Amino acid sequence: MVDAVDAVDPSGILGVTAVGLGMVLTPGPNMIYLVSRSITQGRRAGIISLGGVALGFLVYLLAANLGLAVVFVAVPELYATVKLAGAAYLGYLAWSALKPGGVSVFAPVDVPHDPPRRLFVMGLMTNLLNPKAAIMYLSLIPQFVDLDEGHVLLQGLVLGSAQIMVSITVNLSIVLAAGTIAAFLARRPSWLRVQRYLMGTVLGALAVSLAVN
């Protein structure tokens, strides 16, 4: 029997990696949560939160490969609801960044310090409620599965694992560098404003794109 990893075309793994990299570098709920926790509570809190985010990706990976896509196809209203809810949330984040008195994602905010368990759970829930994650596993990974090679389920798991590794690597870098970036921007108020407006604009564009597509 052909090994499942060998059944995955290398170009498929490269494709998933490239798209996954583009998505993780796009500002969204996960990035905002991880940055805020890393700045306000330290790198350890950010890493614990990232553990929850990683588990959220694993849940989506397993659910998508075990039939969540079938549910969304059978009940398109549920899929539309997830998209619209996600668009509304991204719109709220965009308004929070662009409104008068709004703050940058890298601006320190005085928030209560949460215990490790709560940090982990909040990271998990942030990702589970992140529409980008759901849409990625429902529409991206299946495009790189080669039905002729067989082992469809295992192919999906291998491809999804590549995306998870990309996400964890990039997000860990962001967690570790968040404090340094925040300090750099704090010394340059004009850069902080530009970053905030850029972040809000990107989030707004994502919200509109998600709502209309």
Mean pLDDT per segment of 10 residues, for the chain of length 213 residues? Answer: 58 81 76 82 90 93 74 67 69 73 59 82 87 72 67 79 92 87 70 70 72 69
On whether the pTM is more than 0.75, the answer is no
pLDDT of residue 129: 82
pLDDT of residue 117: 93
Q: What is the DSSP secondary structure assignment for residue 129, as one 8-state letter?
A: T
* Angle (nearest 5°) at CA 18 between 68 and 29: 60
At 140, list the tokens: 């991206």
pLDDT of residue 47: 94
Q: Exposed/middle/buried for 3, CB within 10 Å: 0-12, 13-18, 19+?
A: exposed
pLDDT of residue 186: 64
pLDDT of residue 139: 67
pLDDT of residue 65: 77
pLDDT of residue 2: 47
Cβ contact 51:123 at 8 Å: yes
In residues, how long is the chain?
213
pLDDT of residue 192: 64
**Taking Cα atoms as reference points, which of 172, 187, 207 lies closest to residue 27?**
207
